[in-house]
Amino acid sequence: MQTRRLGQTDLELTAIGFGTWQFGGRWGGADDSESEAAVHAALDAGINWIDTADIYGQGRAESIVGKVLRARDDDVIVSTKGGVAWEVSDQGLQIRREASREYLTRALEDSLSRLGLERVDIYHVHWPVTGVSAEETIGTLLDLKRAGKIGAIGVSNYDLADLEATDGVGQIDALQNGYHLMRRDIEDGAIAWCKEHGVGVLAYGPLAHGLLTGRMRAGTTFPDNDWRAASELFTDEHFSDRIEAVSELEGLAQASGRTGGVAELAVAWVLRRPEVASAIVGGRSPAQVASLAGWATTPLSADEESRIEEILAGHPGTDIHYSHGEPPNRNADDS
């Protein structure tokens, strides 16, 4: 598969990375053996890097990734995130965002233990936290890098103002934000800032959390243990309009000969930007990930891009904007 350099680092990432958020179970449940098999399938398909986070299943996803890494001899690039603290009490799971020096240092050690690594290739601050300065957050990651605990320094869910606050503190290597053809808030300055500062963009959610797979219909519903059951993206008055747009996009994908359908088209759209080093796509079973590698083979054509814009312009419900990178009705343990 095609690889792309991550910012100014020496990391060459495959254009598609494998995401593990779904291993935490908030997509309607998850089976650890299936999750483990899905990671093996992604690596067998030629994907060379895995993205995870400590909050995904409260360590569950990292433990699964660690088990796979110990079973293989591959040179796998591993990216994880810290910055969401959790506690389990009589009231259930309680989570909060944390980015202090003490917390990030401890969280990284816990992540390394679960992953079975002495060093992680990319470490992201999961969210910016009000009241915690960039000097403290990025300064902590710089110290951890100097200590040999992390390779590349990343931030996640940072908007332009958050990125600008890091100016002068130290070099950031990666920005991991949500980005898909119905969600473009990252284009409102953040991508340009990344280009100017030599920061690679890692796009999560390129399939709009399943919306851009072509498998949903206007009457699609989700079980209570699937976060999408409470997300405005899938439940507001514009959902049917989005489904109609996806149907038209599916027709475009078929006319273009894309065997991966609208999903392949959506990934190609994200990868059309040279600033994007990789698009993160997940799957809960080997069957769901077997074809991922093929989605990065054919670049988006100018005709496809033009037609996509025409389709979206005809469906106002596809103009989605999130505040501070956070989809409506999602909790802090999300990507």
The residues that are catalytic are 56
Token pair, residue 168, equals: 């002068």
Helix axes 60-71, 32-44, angle to 10 degrees: 50
Q: Which segments of 64-139 are extended strands (E)?
A: 77-82, 84-89, 92-97, 120-125
Per the listing, tokens 């202090």 go with 100
Token pair, residue 188, equals: 């409102």
Token pair, residue 101, equals: 């020096």
Per the listing, tokens 């993160």 go with 280
Q: Which helix (H) or strand (E) holds 288?
A: helix 286-289
Tell me the C-alpha to C-alpha distance, in Å, between residue 17 and each of 63, 139, 280. 18, 27, 5
CA distance 216 to 250: 12
CA distance 33 to 159: 36
For 205, the 3-state DSSP assignment is coil
Q: Please give the angle made by the CA atoms of 20, 146 and 6, to the nearest 5 degrees.
A: 45
CA distance 304 to 293: 20
| Alpha-carbon dihedral angle through residues 245, 246, 248, 250, given to the nearest 10 degrees | 170
Q: Please give the angle made by the CA atoms of 3, 183 and 28, to the nearest 5 degrees.
A: 85
CA distance 295 to 255: 16
